[in-house]
């Protein structure tokens, strides 16, 4: 991935429907947030920004040893758009001459380093300044935004996420297909996720929820900054 492209990982929510911080729920023996962060780091971007909010002090240690930067967003309760804006702002301040940024969610356990890379490759091939993931007929994150869309991302507020930009500018949008980018919001969804990975392991395959090529082992990345 290009050295002037970043990944902003949104993990600031309070997990109200889950009842406990879902960022710390284990998937295949690894906390959910760390699992997704490992994939982001493995993609080789210029910087990975993790936006925390609710339960930040309890959640941050699960990222120890990963080469990323943590932003604690005091306005996390305002919604997803506000957290995205805070993360993008932190990225633009740290990476002069940036080309673009990927916005991703911390509760999609199936996302891989390869998928992040394909978003950027699709932008390079098509020239479209936005590239969204397409899963089961639905557009969503992770999504890539070229530098011309950074001002629009910085204006996001409340709970209005980047999907509004897809609807407003369809001619600027390309897509990358994905088999499963389901997120985890409820105890039932978490239990189903755990069952799925157990089935994958018993069949001798970890491709459903854990791609060993995209998720380095703990400790392979050595720097963590806490803001």
CA distances from 225 to 30, 70, 73, 93 (A): 20, 6, 15, 15
The DSSP H or E segment spanning 72 is strand 68-72
Cβ contact 107:193 at 8 Å: no
* Residue 16, Cβ density class (10 Å: 0-12 exposed, 13-18 middle, ≥19 buried): exposed
At residue 46's C-alpha, the angle toward residues 40 and 49, to 5°, is 55
For tokens 């990222």, the residue is 63
pLDDT of residue 95: 86
**Measured in whole angstroms, how far is the alpha carbon of residue 183 from the centre of its chain?**
11
* Residue 34, Cβ density class (10 Å: 0-12 exposed, 13-18 middle, ≥19 buried): buried
Cβ contact 197:209 at 8 Å: yes
The pLDDT tens digits for 21-43 are: 899 999 888 999 999 999 999 99
* Entry pTM: 0.83
Question: Per-10-residue mean pLDDT for the chain, 227 residues long?
Answer: 86 86 90 96 93 96 96 94 95 90 93 95 97 92 96 89 90 93 81 70 41 33 32
**Residue 25 and residue 21: Cα distance in Å, rounded?**
7
Residue 181: domain span:
5-226
Q: How many domains does the chain have?
A: 1
**Residue 71 and residue 68: Cα distance in Å, rounded?**
10
DSSP secondary structure letters along 118-182: HHHHHHHHH--SEEEEEETTEEEEEEEEEGGGHHHHHT--TT--THHHHHH-GGGEEEEE-S---
The verdict on whether omega for the bond into residue 198 sits within 30 degrees of 0, i.e. cis, is no
**Residue 111 and residue 208: Cα distance in Å, rounded?**
10
CATH number at 210 reads 3.90.550.10
């Amino acid at each position: 991935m290009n050295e002037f492209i970043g990944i902003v990982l949104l993990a600031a929510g309070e997990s109200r429907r889950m009842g406990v911080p879902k960022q710390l729920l284990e998937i295949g023996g690894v906390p959910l947030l760390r699992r997704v962060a490992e994939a982001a780091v493995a993609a080789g971007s210029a910087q990975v920004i993790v936006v925390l909010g609710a339960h930040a002090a309890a959640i941050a240690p699960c990222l120890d040893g990963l080469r990323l930067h943590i932003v604690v967003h005091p306005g996390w309760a305002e919604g997803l758009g506000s957290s995205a804006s805070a993360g993008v702002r932190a990225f633009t301040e740290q990476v002069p001459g940036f080309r673009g940024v990927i916005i991703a969610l911390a509760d999609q356990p199936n996302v891989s380093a390869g998928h992040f890379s394909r978003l950027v490759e699709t932008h390079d091939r098509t020239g479209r300044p936005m590239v969204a993931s397409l899963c089961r007929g639905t557009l969503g994150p992770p999504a890539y935004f070229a530098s011309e869309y950074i001002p629009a991302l910085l204006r996001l507020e409340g709970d209005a996420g980047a999907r509004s930009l897809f609807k407003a500018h369809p001619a600027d949008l390309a897509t990358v297909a994905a088999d499963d980018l389901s997120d985890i919001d409820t105890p039932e969804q978490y239990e189903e996720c755990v069952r799925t990975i157990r089935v994958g392991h018993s069949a001798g395959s970890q491709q459903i929820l854990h791609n060993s090529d995209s998720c380095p082992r703990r400790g392979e990345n050595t720097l963590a900054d806490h803001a």
